[in-house]
Every structure is written in structure tokens, then in C-alpha cells.
A and B are shown apart, each in its own frame.
Chain A
Amino acid sequence: MFNLFKKNTTTDNNSGLEQTTSLKEKLSKSRQSLGNGLSSLLLGKKEISEELLEELETILISADIGIQTTDKVLESVRQNASRKTLKDSEGLYSFLKSELNKLLVEDTALDVGSEETFVILVVGVNGAGKTTTIGKMAKSFQNDGSSVMLAAGDTFRAAAVEQLKVWGDRNGIPVVSQSSGADSASVIYDAYESAKAKNIDILIADTAGRLHTQGNLMRELEKIKKVLKKINNNLPQETMLVIDGGSGQNAINQAKEFHKAINLTSLSVTKLDGTAKGGVIFAISDELNLPIRYIGVGEGLNDLRNFIPSEFTEALFD
């Protein structure tokens, strides 16, 4: 027999985003493939030879770190090796970790303030995990004692509103929606008015998935932003791009284009409970200098973790 509610029963743990042990556990699959490769590679004192570098390249590429960032990291290994600051494979491990860490933004915490309604606009390509991440974030804010409201800004995809409503029900929080096909900006505007009137702490707005190459859909996002800015220039306080952890280097284009259109303030990465390693965020973070807020490690209500740079890098290599 199968447990029908398997995915729902992963929500047995109530303490939200705090358990780092669980992160390690959840990332263990990533860790195994990347880490195993690395530890066996670095076993024993070896010279930093071209062969070693080639194997290292394979490991980095396999983690979706991308060819350009991989080149950059390897180049710095090479330079340090020739300058003798890096003598053999023993020092390589910590060197790599620190090189990769340098690419990430250190301070990742999201400060939702306490004065006015804090608006988080969530965007991303199709199927990245936006709606699910919103459901999980809502729960974690609630755990922290904030009141939350959701705006069903995806008025396009079949049953997108219903999907968000299920998440609202799970959390016992209101979802503001209009009928399918409505103007996304106006749904979010209404939701903001309603959240403000009700003194809601945090409003999270869902949007339809869209490819960054679709100009008209990107303009729709610009419009959402413009409408919010008309109310108050500091809205939305957070514009978060959700990236599928399984994506390859195309995520770099995604991030650049979304950033160009609507000025992102952060990223979150989903689906890191599989074997995908999400290495592409190093390149993105390096290029756009954006903090990564959360990582998704499952489909359940509690499968969201704070992103901690050192831990993420470590978990990749452990």
C-alpha cells in the first residue's frame, strides 16, 4: 500500500527553518556524489597536476557550476599552485570551499521589518517551484509570529489559483484572488490594499511562470511593479526569483533577464532534495551579487531551509 499523503506527512516537524542537521540529511545525495568524487580525488598527498585539475573540472561541471565559473575556479587553483601558496591536494579542499564561498553573498537574512505591510513578489520560469515556495514561506513567517496573506497573481495557468488556495488552507491564511484571466497587476494591487487595511505583516504575491525570453510577459511583471510603486515607491520590498535547483546554465540567463526587467533583490533555489546540486547559483550570485534566501528540499510544508552560504558549499563537498 502506498501512503496517499506521503507528501503531506513530511510536515511532521514544526520548527520551520531551524534544523541544519536535516539540511545535511536532505542534501546528502548531492553531497555523496560531489563529495565522494572530491574526497577520493584528494585522498593522499598529491601534486596538483593537470590530471588532477581535469578531474576537478569534471566534479565542478557535474555540480552545474557551469563552464565559466569552473574555469575561473580552476584558474585560481592553477595560479596559487604555481605561486606555491597551494602546494598539494591536501590544501585544495579548503581552498576550493573558500573560492566558491567568495562568490556567494554573505548576508542572506530577509528582514521583513515591522512597520508596514512587507510585500514579497515571487517570480520565475515555468514550474520552478514559485507557488510551493510561497506556501512554505508563509508557514515559516507564521511560525515567526507574523500575519501573512497571499495574492494569486498567476491568473493564467490552469488551476494556479486553486493550487495557491490549497496552500492558504494548509496554513489557515487568506488568499486574495480574482477569476482566471484577470489582470495580474490588479489582483496584486487589490491584495495589497486589503492586506494594508487588515494590518497584515507580510503579503506574498504569486505570479505566473514565464520564460525570460518572452518580452510581453516580462513587461507584465514590470507593470505589476509599477502599479505597486505607484502606491509606495518602496514596494515591493522584496522581489525574489525562484530557480529550479536542477537547472543548468540557462538559469544564468534567467536571472540576468529577470533582474534587468524588474530588479531582483534575492533568489531562492528549489528541489535540492534530489541529486541536483544547484551549482549554477554560484555563477548567478557572482554575476548579480544577490543573496540567496531559501532552499527547497521537498514538497511538504516544512521543506524549506534558510540558505547559509558556508553550509551550502560545505554540504556540496562534505
Chain B
Amino acid sequence: MFDNLTKRLSDSFKSLQGKSKLSEENVRDAIREVRRALLEADVAIDVIKVFLEQVQKEAIGLKVREGLNPSQEFIKLVESELTKVIGSTNESLQLNTQPPAVVMVAGLQGAGKTTSVAKLALYLKEREKKKVLMVSADVYRPAAIEQLRVLSEQVGVDFFASTINQSPERIVQEAKSYAQKQFYDVLLIDTAGRLHVDEQMMSEIKVLQRTAKPIETLFVVDSMTGQDAAHTAKSFADALPLTGVILTKTDGDARGGAALSVRHITGKPIKFLGVGEKVDELEPFHPDRIVSRLLGMGDVLSLVEEISRKVDHKKAQQSAKKMAKGQFDLSDMRDQLLQMEQMGGMESLMGKLPGMGQIPDSVKNQILGGAQTKQMVAIINSMTTKERTHIKLIKGSRKSRIANGSGTNVQAVNKLLKQFEKMQKQMKKMGGSKMKKMMAQMNQMQESGQSPAGMPDLSKITNGLSGNGGGNKFPF
């Protein structure tokens, strides 16, 4: 169900192994994969087109940096371009004006405006210690005013009562002058949901905007919206001087292409995410989270960060050196295993990868090859130093001694030895030049103190451990 763009990208870049530059020809497939990922995420097709033209332009001639492979280099480019469009920082509300600062919401029916107004009220009251008043100018939807009133009680914020017999314009006027007289810091205005093609309702909201003169006019959009998000956003942005966007219902599993469409078309920052129905479920916008979701990459990005934070760089470097010299032994394997455990073990790492949550445990165990880190470490610990470097010594009686010492059995010892041999083979295959590259990377890593470059060697190790050469568990 989850499509792992990263995996598909590395597939489409397979032919590129060893190339050091991206060219028009070799990015074509990769661009196609990204396009597909964005289409699956419901990004508006026109927006995708413009976006990919930009990516293509940047990609051609791009040098593949030391320590990265072409698919990594490309995905980094895509990420950074996406982040550029979507906004790299989170912008909060700009309320610097003579009070009351008016904040108005606008959007389609059912997008989450009323709920978001209540959430904003709570946010401004609690986090910014503002004196807040809220009012509903929705005289159409049944019980809309009552809905906001109930919510105002839930968040403990003052409510300016209105009725369906008043005109929205008058409601807004009266609420604003009341807010002025009563020295409210902020007036939040909820408006009726409306279709962007409903001329009458669109001119109504223009009048409301001119009457209330909001300093923030927020477009509220449902993250499950499809291609239509682009049309809608365009019309609302044309009608109103929008200052930002609230993306709602992001607590579901929608890939949220609407975020990119709306952001691209309005040029306005996404300021908040709705992350649940409850009034405290509002979060400042995190661009990175949306970016990885758009690409269908789950938490890969934060996983990479975490791994590079936790890897013991010195040990990793030593292992790499030994590998390069073909001296990688069982002690090194143990170090790798311990490091992996330190990071929370394979299972927790796997949990962060896209789609992994969906996989049943039985399958997961198969992928892991039943590799129980603790047991493996215990086995290696029961060996003599000599045995760890001279694996050939480990025969009959030694095997049973090690099995006894580690509280395991001979089969387990055999299995570990097999896995170790597999790893060694893999390292040989990687060859000398690649090893040197990896070492350069390790050095780099030490200098900067953090870099996702810790990944490649680990992934090789886990390939060895998995016993079935899965190989895609670590996409980077």
C-alpha cells in the first residue's frame, strides 16, 4: 500500500552505480518516479509539472558528492526543492497591530474552519497569553453559531453571540467594535463554508474582509483534498488577501498533496496543522514532516538523523579501516551489533520505515532473519580473542564450548558464523575503491560531528544479517 519512493528511486538509478554526475538521460526515470509519488499524494498535476521542471533543471549536471550514490544525491535534491516550495521554516501568526488584531478564516464547506478557530483561540490564550474574543459569521449552516459557542466554552474564551437573523457584515462590525471597547487583544472570526464558484458567497466574504480588516486571513484546507485544491486555493487567493494556510485533518493517512498545491498556488505559508478533532490538537507547521509524507517516505528523514546521532563514529571508522584491509573480524561484528542495539534495535528502526508498520510480525521476523542481537553478542563474547579473528579455528568442541558459554546451542553458533561469512563476502564484493570512499566519508563524519553518511556500512551489515539479502531496509 505504501509506495516507497526511495526504493523505487534506487531501482531506477541502479544502472548508474559508479557514475559521478547526473545527466538528463539518467534522471529521466527518476523524475518519472517522483512524479508518480506526487500524483499518488494528490499534488495538483499542473503544480507537479512546474515543480519537476525545476528539479530537472537543478539535477542535470549535478555532481554526486563523495559518499553518496546518485539516488541519494537526487533524493536530496528533490527534498530540498520541495522544502523550498513548501517553506523551510514555520511562520506563526503576525498580530502586531493596534488591538484588536483580527484573524479571519475562510474555506470550503467542512474543511475545519470552526474547529480551527477554537484551536487558535486556545493557542493564543495559553501560549501567547492573549485576551481573545471569538465570533461566528456563519448564519447558514444549521447550528454553526451554536457549534462555536460550545467550543468557546471548551477552550474558556469569550464568545460574541450572533444570530442567524443578522447579516454577517453586521455581526462582524459589532464584534469588532465590542472587541475594541473591551480591550481584547485578538478577535477571531469564523465564517461560513463556501464554494469558490459561488459568486454571491465569494463577494460576501470580500465584504467581511473589508469590514473586519483582519491582519491574518487564513485559508483552511482539508489535507484529504484532491486535485481540486489548486482551483479552490486560486479563487480564494484571488478574492482575499490571504496571509496563511491551515492544513487540517493531518492525523489521518492522507499524503497531503494539497499542501504543496495550495502553497505553490497561493504563495502563502502553511502556518498550522490540525492534528485531531480536539481543541488542543493544533501544531505549528513542520515542513520536513510534510515533505517526507509527500514522497511517501515515512519517517526516513528523522531516522537518518537519529542514526547519525547515535553511531559511535570512532568505532565505525575503525571498522571501516579494518574492512578496507580485509581484516574485519567477529569483534567488529559485535561492535556493529551493539551499536545497532543502542539505536533501539532493528525492530524499532524498522518501525520508522514507510510501510513497515503495516507488515505482520511474522514477516518482520523473516526479514530480520531471527537475528537476535543479544544472543549474537553473547555468542561472540564467549569466544576467545583468537577465535574472533581466526574463525576457521571454531570447530566441534570449540563450538559446543561457545554454545554453552553463551547459553545457546550449536545451531545458533553455526548460524552466526554463516552470517559472518556472508558479511565478509559482501565486503570483498564492495571492493577497495568503495572502501576508501567510505573511509573518506567516515572522516568527514567525524569532522562535522553528524552526517547521515553513517548509513551505508550499516546497511551492508544488516544485509549480511538478514540472510535473505533483502537490501532495501535502509534506503539511504
Contact = CB atoms under 8 A, between A and B. Distances in A.
Interface stretch (B4-12, B34-42, B382-390, B398-406): B34-42
B254 interface: yes
A242 B327 CA distance: 64
Contacts of B252: 125, 211-213, 250
A250 B250 CA distance: 12
A6 B45 contact: no
A139 to B, nearest CB: 14
B467 interface: no
Contacts of B224: 125, 244, 247-248, 250-251, 254
A275 interface: yes
A275 B110 contact: no
A224 B203 CA distance: 43
Contact of A163 (B142, B204, B229, B232): B142
A29 interface: yes
Interface string B247-267: 001011111011000000000
Interface in B195-242: 195-197, 200-201, 204, 207, 222, 224-229, 231-232
B226 A158 contact: no
Contacts of A165: 143
A213 B249 CA distance: 11
A244 B110 contact: yes
Contacts of A247: 222, 224-226
A129 B108 CA distance: 12
Contacts of B149: 159
B147 interface: yes
Given A4-B164, A248-B226, A253-B253, A166 B109 contact: no
Contacts of B108: 246, 271, 274
B24 interface: no
Nearest to B252: A211
A248 B257 contact: yes
B470 to A, nearest CB: 26
Contacts of B148: 158
Interface size band for B? 35 or more
Contacts of A299: 109, 140-141
Contacts of A163: 141-143, 147
Contact of B226 (A4, A126, A166, A280): A280
Nearest to B147: A159
Contacts of A253: 1, 253
B269 interface: no
B200 A2 contact: yes
Interface string A116-133: 000000000111110000
Interface residues of A, number: 53
Contacts of A275: 196-197, 228, 231-232
A127 B225 contact: no
B304 interface: no
Contacts of B45: 58, 61-62
Contact of A127 (B110, B154, B196, B254): B110
A135 B143 CA distance: 13
Given A61-B45, A61-B227, A128-B110, A2 B249 contact: no
A274 B201 CA distance: 13
A2 B200 CA distance: 8
Given A212-B252, A250-B255, A6 B200 contact: yes
A249 B226 contact: yes
A157 interface: yes
Contacts of B228: 64, 246, 274-277
13 contacts: A63-B227, A64-B42, A125-B249, A157-B277, A158-B148, A211-B252, A214-B251, A244-B222, A250-B253, A250-B254, A274-B108, A274-B232, A276-B227
Q: Closest 6 interchain pairs by CB? A: A248-B226, A127-B110, A248-B42, A166-B142, A159-B147, A158-B150
Given A159-B149, A244-B110, A274-B195, 6 more contacts: A1-B167, A2-B200, A158-B154, A163-B147, A248-B225, A250-B42
